[in-house]
């Protein structure tokens, strides 16, 4: 078996420029580690069967919920439980996020739109 390789997130973020298009940078226990560049507002959605972790690598993520909101700054993380509707927003600058979620998770959850990305690139 080959030696496990270190993943440098800055380097991985440097490999693409498209926004709202998660890339897979790691897999474990049926879960995936994904990274994405985001800017502006996404769309309301929920994941019926999957809890989702967001961690901010650069910038600031605002998550709107139906009953409130949360702000996630660089070095912070948040877990959105399954079934909870959320709207991700990067208001100011482009924001870089890391996600940890089941491999089955679709970026738009229970909503299918032109922003749905079903086949994720692996970096």
Contacts to a second copy by CB under 8 A: 1, 3-10, 26-29, 31, 33, 50-53, 57, 63, 65, 67-73, 75-81, 84, 100-102
Token representation of residue 110 = 């229970």
Distance (Å, whole) CA 46 – CA 13 = 26
40 to each of 9, 10, 117, how far by Cα in Å?
Answer: 22, 21, 17
Q: Tell me which residue has tokens 């994941």.
A: 47
Question: Whole-number minimum distance, CB 33 to a second copy, in Å?
Answer: 7
- Identify the three-state secondary structure at position 9: helix
Question: Whole-number minimum distance, CB 31 to a second copy, in Å?
Answer: 6
Q: Are 57 and 12 in contact (CB under 8 A)?
A: no
Name the residue nearer to a second copy (CB basis): 28 or 114: 28
Name the residue nearer to a second copy (CB basis): 110 or 113: 110
Name the residue nearer to a second copy (CB basis): 81 or 113: 81
Question: Whole-number minimum distance, CB 39 to a second copy, in Å?
Answer: 20
């Amino acid at each position: 078996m080959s030696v496990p390789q270190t993943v440098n997130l800055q380097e991985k973020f440097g490999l693409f420029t498209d926004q709202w298009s998660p890339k897979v940078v790691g897999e474990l226990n049926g879960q995936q580690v994904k990274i994405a560049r985001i800017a502006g507002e996404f769309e309301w959605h929920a994941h019926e069967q999957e809890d989702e972790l967001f961690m901010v690598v650069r910038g600031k993520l605002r998550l709107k919920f139906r009953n409130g909101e949360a702000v996630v700054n660089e070095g912070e993380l948040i877990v959105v439980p399954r079934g909870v509707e959320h709207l991700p927003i990067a208001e100011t600058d482009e924001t870089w996020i890391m996600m940890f979620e089941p491999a089955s998770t679709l970026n738009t959850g229970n909503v299918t739109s032109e922003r749905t990305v079903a086949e994720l690139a692996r970096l």
